[in-house]
């Protein structure tokens, strides 16, 4: 079956670093996405990994290990505006995205 697991909620301190993990088991794999979703808003794209390794984009980095079915999103120098849900999604072979339930990140001053 198709399964994507993420922690339900995480708490971190402003200025710190946080790592949000995602593990997946899907019938096909054509890339892994991370999206940010603020409460009451639509998801917005953060990153895309299709090959193993680390992709860095400013304060955000995303890592993928296809052999382990594992990814993480790393957020550095946390700001209050980073309080949001972070959704992990896998693109399967049929041009569909399979979505995790999301990780709610709470930033404390």
Partner 1 sequence: NAGVTQTPKFRILKIGQSMTLQCTQDMNHNYMYWYRQDPGMGLKLIYYSVGAGITDKGEVPNGYNVSRSTTEDFPLRLELAAPSQTSVYFCASWTDSYEQYFGPGTRLTVT
Give residue 66's region: left, alpha or beta (phi > 0; psi -120 to 50): alpha
Q: Write the binding mask 59 to 88 for partner 1: x where contact by CB under 8 A, - elsewhere.
A: ----------------------------x-
The residue within the footprint of partner 1, chosen from 78, 100, 105, 107 (CB under 8 A), is 100
Task: State the DSSP code for 80.
Answer: G
Site for partner 1 in 30-59 (CB under 8 A): 31, 33, 41-45, 48
Q: Of 9 and 14, which has the nearer Cβ to partner 1?
A: 9
Q: Of 57 and 109, which has the nearer Cβ to partner 1?
A: 57
Tell whether residue 1 is a contact of partner 1 (CB under 8 A).
Answer: no
Tell whether residue 10 is a contact of partner 1 (CB under 8 A).
Answer: no
CB of 95 to partner 1, least distance (A): 6
Rounded CA separation 96/109 (Å) = 38
List of E strands, 3-102: 3-5, 9-13, 18-25, 32-37, 44-49, 53-57, 60-65, 70-75, 84-91, 97-99
Residue found under tokens 């399967």: 92
């Amino acid at each position: 079956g198709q399964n994507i697991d993420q922690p339900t909620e995480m708490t971190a301190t402003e200025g710190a670093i946080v790592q949000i993990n995602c593990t997946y088991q899907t019938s096909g794999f054509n890339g892994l996405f991370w999206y940010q979703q603020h409460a009451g808003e639509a998801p917005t794209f953060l990153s895309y990994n299709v090959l193993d390794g680390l992709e860095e984009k400013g304060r955000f980095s995303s890592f993928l290990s296809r052999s382990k079915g594992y990814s993480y999103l790393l957020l550095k120098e946390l700001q209050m505006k980073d309080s949001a849900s972070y959704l992990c999604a896998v693109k399967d072979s049929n041009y569909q995205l399979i979505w995790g339930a999301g990780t709610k990140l709470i930033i404390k001053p």
